[in-house]
Amino acid sequence: MTLDDLQALIDKMYSDKDRARGTPATFLWLVEEIGELASVLREGTQEQKEDEFADVVAWMVTLANVNNVNLTKALEDKYGKGCPGCGHLVCTCDTKP
Ligand SMILES: [Mg+2]
Ligand SMILES: [Zn+2]
């Protein structure tokens, strides 16, 4: 499954509900799922971690759909040619603050 496939799948399954819910409520769902991920990262099984990573990505994709953002394009534009800071494939940005 590509990211485009996932974005189209989520849109097909939930588009009407997602757009009716809107950005603020969808963002809250995403944050709630990030909280669940934090919990299982601290003390969860591998299966629980996989489950919560899936939720976080799904809600991030949902939020992108509601905002008409194509994530593949966004990611290719920003990271497709390497580090956005230095432009190299292996980052050579100064790590000092
Ligand atoms: Mg969850
Ligand atoms: Zn860099």
CA of 97 to the centre of ligand 2 (A): 14
Q: Which helix (H) or strand (E) holds 79?
A: helix 71-79
pLDDT digits (tens, 9 = 90+) for 16-67: 999 999 999 999 999 999 999 999 999 999 999 999 999 999 999 999 999 9
Backbone angles phi, psi at 36, to 5 degrees: -65, -40
The DSSP result for 7-18, as a single string, is HHHHHHHHHHHH
Among the bound ligands, name the one nearest to the CA of residue 55.
Answer: 1
* pLDDT of 96 higher than 70: no
Among the bound ligands, name the one nearest to the CA of residue 49.
Answer: 1
User: pTM (2 decimals)?
Assistant: 0.91
Among the bound ligands, name the one nearest to the CA of residue 54.
Answer: 1
Counting runs of H as helices and runs of E as strands, what totals does the chain give? 3, 0
Of 56, 80, 76, 79, which Cα lies nearest the Cα of 6? 56
CB count, 10 Å around CB of 41?
Answer: 12
CA distance 4 to 49: 23
* Amino acid, res. 14: Y
CA of 75 to the centre of ligand 2 (A): 16
Among the bound ligands, name the one nearest to the CA of residue 34.
Answer: 1
